[in-house]
């Protein structure tokens, strides 16, 4: 493709992208297709001969688009959002045009220095202590694994990196509501799933710090070495807030690494009125949140903050001759701050987003989303046919339909969800709370407005009425 063709096609694509943003709300959120429907339309082998860009773009529209789940739709209320903003999409265009591989300072000095500064901005925006140093990672899963590996090396004086595991048995702690990425990280870091303690939660689905303290003490008495406690500001099911302050205290007492997983809810700390959630976070050792979830920066972009960056770098550093540079003593070579060597220029999109929205613009959106969560929670509480299943500190609402025989409630709630999701008008998912099938809606989409939430609630009531007659 020559540059003039590139210019022409890029303009076509940008027009298509702008149309998509304008119309996505009218598209079915979930595609109405069966497994294999897309695969069977794709050729078995790669084309021998070059194809025209027009042919490729046509197939994108005809074959690929019908199988897309529209995360961009404000009617997407499933999981946690992977939200974005137009400024972030434009920055991604520049990132891929530059193709910078930001493994060391020399391979893109602007990328390294912008990352350093943007992470200072974010630290201030969230009200975190300046004892934290930030680095951008691809996902919260990677950041949490980095925290576990650093904690492991720190507690063993970097001996596992050198000699591998010996007889010493380590333990890791999190609540029973923690995200699956933590369990995965425990396995990958070599601790063994049986050394992972899932501490029970209270009636608000937050970790019981008294049980954490007892479990740690028993483990120490039994000869284990506790390595890390992972707490959550905003669990995946219900956005429960663990007692960060008490957990930090316990960790300090026993010299255990405290890692705070705020993958989704971390963005809400831009609001001073919500900083109560993070009380004690400045006494922790590391903190992670995903701008790619709720800070309008498209996937992937994770902000990881650590108190002891020297320990982090010592855990990962390996300097082959071909990566040495004359400025290594003066600069941050971020390849040593995480697992992969290669790194995208993610700081660029964060910089675009923060500047284009301003801190006030981000705060305004987050405030609106939280207000919508509270609004739906109130509707549910006031409705005789529904029950709120968990507190709503932010914008994720867990509830269920209850006007039917108890033994049919799980099935009916599942049917309500499936009927609505199949309609394409809304997409949300379920969770299980106290062993009960629970409807769960999260309101973090960039373009979400009050009427989307009102429509969602009306639809749920409408479909539930049918099931009430059936019950
Ligand atoms: N932690 C929590 C609380 C989450 O909700 C999620 C994802 O939803 C993760 C971690 C994992 O995030 P990532 O996909 O960035 O690894």
| Mean pLDDT, rounded, for 438-458 | 97
Our mutation pick for probing the ligand 1 site, out of 82, 141, 239, 268, counting the most ligand atoms within 8 A of Cβ, is: 141
139 lines ligand 1 (CB under 6 A): yes
Handedness of CA 447, 453, 454, 459 (dihedral sign): positive
pLDDT (tens digit per residue) in 199-238: 999 999 999 999 999 999 999 999 999 999 999 999 999 9
Which among 455, 464, 437, 440 is positioned nearest to 383, based on CA atoms? 464
Give residue 347 CA to ligand 1 midpoint distance, Å: 20
464 lines ligand 1 (CB under 6 A): no
pLDDT (tens digit per residue) in 329-346: 888 899 999 999 999 999
Q: Which domains are assigned to the chain?
A: 100-344 (3.40.640.10)
**pLDDT for 470:** 55
In total, the chain counts a number of residues equal to 471
pLDDT (tens digit per residue) in 289-324: 999 999 999 999 999 999 999 999 999 988 777 778
Q: Which residues contact 203 (CB under 8 A, 6 or more apart)?
A: none
261 lines ligand 1 (CB under 6 A): yes
Work out the angle at residue 49's Cα, subtended by the Cα atoms of residues 45 and 51, and round it to the nearest 5 degrees: 95
Mapping DSSP onto H, E and C, the string for 21-53 reads HHHHHHCCCCCCCCCCCCHHHCCCCCCCCCCCH
289 lines ligand 1 (CB under 6 A): no
SS3 400: strand
pLDDT (tens digit per residue) in 234-263: 999 999 999 999 999 999 999 999 999 999
SS3 105: helix
As beta bridge partners, residue 134 has 305
Question: Taking a C-beta distance cutoff of 8 angstroms, is the pair 369, 395 a contact?
Answer: yes
Q: Can you tell me which atom of ligand 1 is nearest the CA of 80? A: 8
216 lines ligand 1 (CB under 6 A): no
User: What is d(CA 137, CA 292) in angstroms, rounded to the nearest whole number?
Assistant: 11
302 lines ligand 1 (CB under 6 A): yes
**pLDDT for 270:** 98
| Mean pLDDT, rounded, for 428-435 | 96
**pLDDT for 469:** 58
- Give the model's confidence band at 466: pLDDT under 50 very low, under 70 low, under 90 confident, else very high: confident
Could you tell me the strand order of the sheet in which 396-401 lies? Answer: 386-388, 396-401, 436-442, 429-433
The larger pLDDT score, comparing residue 457 to residue 326, is at 457
**pLDDT for 320:** 78
In the chain, what percentage of residues exceed pLDDT 90?
A: 93
pLDDT (tens digit per residue) in 377-423: 999 999 999 999 999 999 999 999 999 889 999 999 999 999 999 99
Strand runs (DSSP E) across 147-251, as ranges? 170-175, 196-199, 225-232
Q: Which residues contact 352 (CB under 8 A, 6 or more apart)?
A: 87, 88, 90, 91
237 lines ligand 1 (CB under 6 A): no
């Amino acid at each position: 493709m020559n540059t003039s063709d590139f210019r022409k096609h890029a303009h076509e694509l940008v027009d298509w992208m702008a149309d998509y943003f304008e119309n996505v709300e009218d598209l079915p959120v979930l595609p109405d297709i069966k497994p294999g429907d897309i695969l069977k339309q794709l050729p078995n082998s790669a084309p021998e001969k070059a194809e025209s860009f027009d042919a490729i773009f046509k197939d994108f529209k005809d074959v690929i688009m019908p199988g897309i789940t529209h995360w961009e739709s404000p009617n997407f209320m499933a999981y946690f959002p992977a939200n974005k903003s137009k400024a972030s999409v434009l920055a991604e265009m520049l990132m891929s045009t530059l193709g910078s591989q930001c493994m060391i300072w020399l391979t893109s000095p602007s990328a390294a220095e912008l990352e350093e500064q943007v992470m200072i901005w974010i630290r201030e925006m969230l009200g975190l202590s300046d004892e934290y140093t930030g680095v951008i990672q691809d996902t919260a899963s990677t950041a949490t694994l980095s925290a576990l590996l650093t904690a492991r090396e720190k507690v063993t004086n970097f001996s596992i990196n050198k000699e591998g595991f010996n007889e010493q048995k380590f333990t890791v702690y999190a609540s029973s509501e923690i995200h699956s990425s933590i369990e995965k990280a425990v396995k990958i870091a070599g601790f063994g799933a049986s050394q992972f303690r899932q501490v029970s939660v209270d009636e608000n689905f937050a970790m019981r710090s008294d049980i954490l303290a007892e479990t740690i003490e028993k483990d120490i008495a039994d000869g284990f070495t506790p390595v890390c406690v992972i707490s959550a500001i905003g669990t995946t099911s219900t956005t429960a807030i663990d007692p960060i302050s008490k957990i930090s205290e316990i960790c300090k007492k026993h010299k255990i690494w405290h890692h705070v997983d705020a993958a989704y809810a971390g963005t809400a700390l831009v609001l001073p009125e919500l900083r109560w959630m993070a009380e004690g976070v400045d006494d922790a050792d590391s903190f992670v949140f995903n701008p790619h979830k709720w800070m309008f920066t498209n996937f992937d972009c994770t902000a990881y903050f650590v108190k002891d960056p020297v320990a982090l770098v010592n855990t990962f550093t390996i300097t082959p001759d071909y990566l040495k540079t004359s400025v290594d003593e003066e600069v941050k070579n971020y390849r040593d701050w995480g697992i992969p060597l290669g790194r995208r220029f993610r700081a660029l999109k964060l910089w675009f987003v923060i500047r284009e929205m301003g801190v006030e613009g981000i705060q305004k959106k987050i405030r609106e989303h939280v207000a919508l969560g509270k609004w739906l929670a109130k509707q549910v509480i006031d409705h005789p046919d529904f029950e709120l299943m968990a507190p709503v500190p932010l914008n994720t609402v867990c509830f269920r339909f209850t006007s039917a025989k108890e033994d049919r409630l799980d099935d009916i709630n599942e049917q309500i969800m499936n009927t609505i999701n199949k309609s394409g008008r809304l997409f949300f998912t379920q969770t299980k709370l106290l062993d009960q099938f629970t409807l769960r809606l999260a309101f973090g989409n960039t373009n979400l407005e009050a009427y989307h939430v009102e429509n969602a609630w009306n639809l749920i009531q409408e479909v539930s009425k049918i099931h009430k007659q059936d019950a």
